[in-house]
Each structure stands twice: as C-alpha cells, then as structure tokens.
Chain A
Amino acid sequence: MREAEHLVHKYLRSSKRFPHIWCSGCGIGIFMQALVRVIDQSEYSKDDIVLISGIGCSGRLPVYVDFNTLHTTHGRALTFATGIKLANPRLKVITVMGDGDAVAIGGNHFIHAARRNVEIASFILNNNVYGMTGGQSSPTTPHGAITASAPYGNIEPDFDICRLAEAAGAVLVARSTVYHTRLLERLIGMALKKKGFSVLEVVSQCTTYTGRFLQLNSPVEMLKWQKDNAITVEKAKQLSDTELEGKIVIGVLVNRERPNYHEQYQSLLGKKSKV
C-alpha cells in the first residue's frame, strides 16, 4: 500500500509490533528517528553497530531497531559498552540513557567513562523525570517542581548534565532538543564520528509527567517550550547568568582532542612483564 517507505522502517525489526510502547508525543521516538537517519547516511552497516541502553523509557529503544542491541541494567549501560568496545574496537558502540539512568544511578559510570575516554557515543534523553516508574523526581527535575516523589515541591537543585560531562573529560559535549531536529541530526553525526567519549544531551519531553509539573498540557506545548527557551551557544555567550536562567543552551559546548583509551591500550599490546 505504501508507495514510499519511511526511511526508519528499513531499520525497524519486522518481528516487533508497532506502534511502539512510548506515550503519545514522547520525544524518544523523535530521537530514535534522528539516530536512524544519521546512521543511514553513515559508513556503518547494521552489523557494525551495537546499541546499548539502560533502564527506563529510553531503555526500550534498542529492541525496535535492527542492530546488535543490548538492554542492560539501570545506570550501567556504559559499563557494558566499555567491555564491548575494548573487546572489539571495530564495533561502533552507542549508548542511549535517560537522565535518572545516566546521572543518578549511573553517575559514577558516567563520569568515569568520560574520564577514561573510551570511544562511545552516548546520548542522554533528558526528560527531567523518572517516567517509567510514574513521574518521580530525577537529578534534572527543576527546583520547586511537584513530582510523585516531591509532593510538596522538589527541594533539590538540578544537574547540568553537559557541565558534568565537560568536567569529567568528555571530548565532545553537545545539547539539542528534539524540537530542533536538524540540529539534533547534525550533533548525532558529530558524536558518532568522534574518536572518544562523546555526550549529547537530548532535551526531550515526557508528556505524561514532566508536562504536568511544568504546566505544559500537551506534546505541542512542550515542543513550543523547547523552541521558545532554546538559545544557541553563540547567543548564550553574550548573556549573563541571570539572563540564561531557564534557557536551554543548544549546540556544541565542548569539542576537544585527547587520546582515547583504546589507542593508548594498543601501545601496551605485546608487552611482557619480566616479573
């Protein structure tokens, strides 16, 4: 019946049932499509790619796509990714994590993966909430927000994932929203090409829970919120901290070179201790 096939369909597992499990208007699907579009235009074959996730809504992404896919434990996607990349450096290793996944329960793994600089393209879908378990506060939930686990308002400050990644040593740090799809694709492309640990924070919308505590009542309103509050890195440089309050700075935040773990390990191969 279809005359032109959706590009994404070429990468979906035909044995999986659709529509997928995510709620109406969820940003994960938008990210997934962007990822697949970029991979389609890349030199990688389906066999080359290992797509790894943790637990949560984002954790359900890999099962839908026809790569080598791995749905790991909560927060630990990067540890599996590290083992895979070092055991077979030919593979293109990609992780998809959520905000709670990557920087709460997986925070330790995240900072050390960044420090170690294993070549992993890591994408963090930040929807500011634990969606799968019913809308509890995450490390990126805004201060004051009312959530299932902060019924009187969140008294914790929120994490800036990108600044954390930068401080920990990631060689590419970038941010986009799912609204800015073309930027999103460009940044995914950069992350996949980077020969080290790259972090792309993807500001996404949980239309079921985050929308409620931000008083944004539909996916459309949430995307408008992303559109209206996003500001490019270049513009942000001209603004004061107060002016940047509540803004989403998008674009490439850090792009630097540093020897990756694998390159350095290669120089050890063949070494034999006399001990």
Chain B
Amino acid sequence: MKKAVRKQVLLQGNEACVEGALMAGCRFYAGYPITPATEIMEIMARKMPGASGVFIQMEDEIASLGAVIGASLAGSKSMTATSGPGFSLMQEHIGYASMAEVPCVIVDVMRAGPSTGLPTQPSQSDVMQSRWGTHGDHPIIVLAPSSVYEFFELTVQAFNLSERYRTPVILLVDELVAHMREGVILPTRDSLEIEDRPHPTVPPEWYIPYADPGTGVPAMPAFGEGYRYHVTGLYHDVRGYPTVRTDEVEPLIHRLFNKISKDYDRLQWFDAFATEDAKITIIAYGCVARAALRAVQQAREKGLKVGLINLKILWPFMRRTISGILENSAKVLVPELNIGQISREVKRINQSRCEVLTLNKVDGTPIKPAEILRTLEEVYS
C-alpha cells in the first residue's frame, strides 16, 4: 500500500478498524454490544450517518450477521464485530455467507474462553473456531493484525478479499491490539487499492448466478438491479436452485475451496525479521508477535541466531511459507495465548523436519518479551 505524507494520529485499534472499513467502502454495520469489541460498534454508530451509510444495533449476533448478509446482497459492503460468545452465535451465518457466497467482514476481538470466559483480557483462543466454527466443509479467510496500523490495513484487505472471492473474511484480533493506542499515519483513500465484487457483464436474461466464469468466483449483482436470482444455503445448482444431484453438489463444494486455493501464492502475507540465518524461528501473530519481535531483537544482541515470522493470514494456513521455515530452521517456537492452536497446524505440516516448540499462556495476561527470550535461551543449543 502506498502511503501519502499525512499527519500522524493517535488511534485505538478498534478505531483504526473503523477507519479502514470506511475507506474500504463499508456502508453497512450491524452489531450487538460485547466487550472487547464494543468500540467498533460505537464509532460506527457515530460515523455511519455522516458517511451516508447504515448503522443498526440488532437484537443479537445471529441477527447482526443476518442483516450484514442481507445488506451485502442489496449491494452494500457490510461488516459486524464481536467477541467469543457472539462469534459462537455468528457461526450459523458464517456458514450461510460461505455457501451462498456473500461478501462480508466479521471482526472477532478475542477474549479467553470457553463460554463467557475472560471478557477483558487478551487471548488468541478462537483460532480454530475461526477456521472450523461453522458446520460443514467450507473455505474461510482469517487475518490477524498485530498493530493498530495493521488493524487498519488488514481491515481494508479483509473487504478486498471478501469482495474478490465472495466469501466471509474474519479479522481475528486480540484485546491488546484492539484496545492499544498507537500513533499512525493513515493513507489517503485515493492511495488505496479498493476491490469490488465481480459484477455481471451480461444482460439479466443471460445471467447464470452461480456459473463459474473461470475464476471460480461467479458474478454478483445487487438485488434490485434487474438480475432476479435465487439465493439459498442449501446445496444449489448454477441457477441457485436447491439440488441433491451428485454431479452438482460435489463441483460446488470444490469450487468454493478452489476459488481461494488457486490463489494460495497470493495469500502468503507475513513479516519476516532476521530469518535468513535463524537457527530458531518464532512463528507468531497478533500481540504475541510484538513481544516476539522484542525478544528476537534482544536475543540477537546476545548473539543468538533467531528470527521471527509474523503471520498476517491465519487461514488458509500459509503452508508454503511455513514449510520453508521448517525446512531451514533447526527449531521453531510457536508462542500463543491459547493452549496450542496454530502450533497444532505447524506440527501437522512439519513432518519431522524440525523440532516444534510451544509457549502457551492462558492466564489472561500477555506473553512478555522476557518470557519468550528466556525460552529461546533455554532451547538454543
């Protein structure tokens, strides 16, 4: 992203998210209050009318995502934000958006769970739920920012990916990044690349709603534009009508996956720090990546050859990037604010290439640089 010379502003993570959403063209927000995501809703309530957009507080999170999907079908870029308990309620409609291919963005500012858990403490324990929370096979894209600016940037990208692939995109954020304030310089709207969903290029009478144009992503008109079509969460044929035909069911689910997997090369988003000669590479994301960066800097000062990969995309899991790391490191350390979720995925693709170590903290407090540094020193040999 190009950055114009602009004034630095002090923003909270949740505030930066709203700025990113509005710049990306979001004009519909529906939500339900929940800590620690509520600021997103409150700021949306203030800003949407001025942006000629719609803000609505719904009766629960199921309704919030329902309204978001409806608005998206009517042509608005739409989003909602929540935390664990609300995210659980949203799973039903995440599946719907995935099946019916309706672009939408969902922010989950994680709290430690299960259940009501620790509402005000940082956690990263929804990683697996963000991948498999809704029932049935489905593709999903999940982004994880580790700074206020990144929260802004990845919100813009969440909308872009959602529109490009016609799929729900989840921003998985921890409470630290959501509530932290940092000085950021936001780019101008003109300097951003904004993507919109593919629109039909044929007249309505030729339009086949779920036909694959070759990209895997069918064209999507808005309701009311003259392309009258049917949308359902049932398995459907290319016309959108329910089907149980094996020769229609299987191609649909494969297309849903392939439209994203064909672009895996484009979906390897990470920051690498001092990885070239690293004997131990840390794989981290969110607020833990910040602590890890400090730990790596301190370790380097002590002469330890360690590096860091900060993951921006959690799902689809960046197998190519991580495989490269596993190939070239003697050890990999995966610190996380959960019982071990991304580390499971790392171990799954490791295939005994190197030693995968974990550092898990689930007491509601962040992992500190010193804790990571201590672990690095212990396992460095």
- Which residue numbers of A lie inside 8 Å of B, CB to CB? 13, 15-16, 46-48, 50, 52, 60, 62-63, 66-73, 76, 79-88, 90-91, 108-109, 112, 261, 265, 268-273, 275
Contact with B228, one of A46, A71, A72, A79 (Cβ below 8 angstroms): A46
What is the distance, in angstroms, from A105's C-beta to the closest C-beta of chain B? 10
Which of B47, B62, B65, B96 has the most chain A CB atoms inside 10 A of its CB?
B62
Instruction: Pick the interface stretch among B143-151, B169-177, B230-238, B309-317.
Output: B230-238
Q: Report Cα–Cα, A70/B222, bound state, in Å.
A: 12
List 30 A–B pairs whose Cβ atoms lie within 8 Å, in order of A's numbering: A15-B239, A46-B228, A47-B224, A47-B226, A50-B74, A50-B223, A52-B70, A68-B223, A69-B228, A69-B231, A70-B70, A71-B242, A73-B233, A79-B58, A79-B63, A79-B65, A80-B70, A82-B63, A86-B54, A87-B70, A88-B74, A88-B222, A88-B223, A91-B74, A108-B63, A109-B63, A112-B58, A112-B63, A270-B49, A270-B50
Q: Once the chains bind, are B231 and A71 in contact (CB under 8 Å)?
A: yes
A73 touching B92 in the complex, CB below 8 Å, given contacts A63-B241, A112-B63: yes
Interface residue B124 (Cβ < 8 Å from any Cβ of A)? no
Interface residue B52 (Cβ < 8 Å from any Cβ of A)? yes
Shortest 4 CB-CB contacts between residues of A and residues of B: A83-B70, A79-B66, A83-B67, A80-B70
A79 touching B70 in the complex, CB below 8 Å, given contacts A86-B28, A269-B49, A270-B49: yes
Tell me what chain B mostly uses at the interface: helix, strand, loop, or mixed: mixed
Classify chain B's interface size: 35 or more
Q: Once the chains bind, are B73 and A16 in contact (CB under 8 Å)?
A: no
Q: Once the chains bind, are A108 and B59 in contact (CB under 8 Å)?
A: yes
Q: Once the chains bind, are A82 and B224 in contact (CB under 8 Å)?
A: no
Within 8 A of A (CB), among B206-259: 222-226, 228-234, 239, 241-242
Tell me what chain A mostly uses at the interface: helix, strand, loop, or mixed: mixed
Q: Which residues of B contact A270 (CB under 8 A)?
A: 49-50, 52
Within 8 A of A (CB), among B30-75: 30, 46-47, 49-50, 52, 54, 56, 58-60, 62-75
Q: Once the chains bind, are B60 and A108 in contact (CB under 8 Å)?
A: yes
Interface residue B76 (Cβ < 8 Å from any Cβ of A)? yes
Contact with B54, one of A15, A72, A87 (Cβ below 8 angstroms): A87
Q: Once the chains bind, are A63 and B230 in contact (CB under 8 Å)?
A: yes
What is the distance, in angstroms, from B85's C-beta to the closest C-beta of chain A? 15
Q: Report Cα–Cα, A272/B228, bound state, in Å.
A: 36
A79 touching B67 in the complex, CB below 8 Å, given contacts A87-B54, A273-B47: yes
What is the distance, in angstroms, from A5's C-beta to the closest C-beta of chain B? 19
Q: Report Cα–Cα, A79/B50, bound state, in Å.
A: 24
